[in-house]
Structure formats: C-alpha cells, structure tokens
C-alpha cells in the first residue's frame, strides 16, 4: 500500500471524512483534493530523503514525534497542533511557502476545489503523511536500515512506500495517482 492509498483508506476512509467535514466538502471532492496534493508531498519527501542529511532529518522527526496519532485519530488532524506540525513538515518538504502555494494552485486547477481550502488542507495532509510513515514502521529500525546501504537503506524503503508500481521511480506514480483523481 502506498502513501496515498494508506491515507485514503485508513480508518475505513475516516481521514477523508474528517477532511470533508472540516472543509464542508463532499467526500468525492475531499478525495480528489487529497489525490491531487499527496503525490506532491510524496515527491518532496522522496527528494529530501535522497541525501543522507535529509534521511537523518526524517528519521529524527519520525522518532521524536507522535505522528501515528494522525492516522489513529482522524479528528486530530484538524487540531491546531497538527496544523502547526504540518506547516513545519511542509517547510522541510518544500522549502518555502511559495512552493506550497503553487502546489495548492495546481491542485485547485485540476480538482475545482478552492485554492484557499487546499492551502489550509496541505498542512493536515503533511501531518497525515508523517503519520502514515510512522504507522508503516519507517521510524522503527530506520537507523539500522539507513546504516546498511547494501540493503537499500531507508531511501529504498521510502521509495517502496511512495512507488506504487514498484518500478523504482515515483514520478510516474505521482502522475498516475494525481490522474486517478482528476477525472
């Protein structure tokens, strides 16, 4: 199961319902918005973990935070603490608010969901992404895997999580995942 599928299907769609209710969207629109935004998060995470420093930062963040709560308790993603956490995550993933704004703008064009809503949704989804990675156990044992380059390390594990068709590239999956929700 890849990152997008995990977010969409966790708690029998509870995360999707929570986002829909929070932004007064129908579940289909919420699902489309999530489908348009999560691939950009996946790509950013993959890009950041390609370097040893980025990988270390992710391992540290996963081991320090209680990110799994965002998956276990869907209502927690709408709390201010989750939004603040998500904004910090976005800063690491995208590097600037301008990139976050561009991601939201592109998603608005393809989904019809208001850009303002998508900008507010993005930090929640960033928190969910960290929660999904924490639930997948990427934090447990990640340091040992990262220290063993011959096994592919955490970068390889992340690529597997972010790479839906297991071809070693997440770019086609990002495009494909987004396309499924743009129809």
Please write the tens of the pLDDT for every residue from 55-88: 888 888 887 878 888 888 889 999 999 999 999 9
CA dihedral 52, 58, 63, 66 (to 10 degrees): 180
Query: What tokens were used for 156?
Result: 């390889």
* Domain around 113: 3-180
Q: Which of 81, 158, 68, 161 is nearest to 123 (CA)?
A: 81
Q: How many helices (H) and strands (E) does the chain have?
A: 11, 0
pLDDT of residue 146 exceeding 50: no
Q: Rounded mean pLDDT of the chain?
A: 79
What was the pLDDT predicted at 139?
A: 43
pLDDT of residue 183 exceeding 80: no
Higher pLDDT, 58 or 162: 58
Q: How many domains does the structure of the chain reveal?
A: 1
What was the pLDDT predicted at 59?
A: 80
Residue 26: pLDDT band by 50, 70, 90 thresholds?
very high
């Amino acid at each position: 199961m890849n990152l997008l599928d995990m977010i969409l299907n966790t708690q029998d769609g509870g995360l999707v319902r929570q986002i829909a209710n929070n932004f007064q969207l129908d579940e289909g629109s919420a699902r489309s918005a999530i489908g348009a935004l999560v691939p950009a998060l996946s790509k950013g995470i993959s890009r950041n973990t390609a370097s040893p420093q980025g990988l270390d930062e992710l391992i540290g963040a996963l081991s320090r935070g209680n990110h799994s709560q965002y998956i276990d308790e869907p209502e927690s993603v709408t709390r201010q603490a989750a939004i603040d956490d998500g904004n910090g995550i976005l800063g690491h993933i995208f590097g600037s608010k301008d990139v976050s704004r561009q991601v939201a703008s592109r998603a608005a064009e393809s989904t019809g969901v208001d850009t303002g809503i998508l900008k507010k949704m993005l930090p929640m989804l960033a928190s969910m992404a960290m929660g999904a990675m924490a639930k997948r156990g990427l934090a447990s044992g990640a340091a040992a895997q990262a220290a063993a380059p011959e096994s592919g390390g955490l970068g390889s594990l992340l690529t597997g999580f972010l790479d839906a068709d297991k071809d070693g590239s997440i770019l086609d999956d990002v495009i494909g995942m987004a396309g499924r929700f743009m129809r």
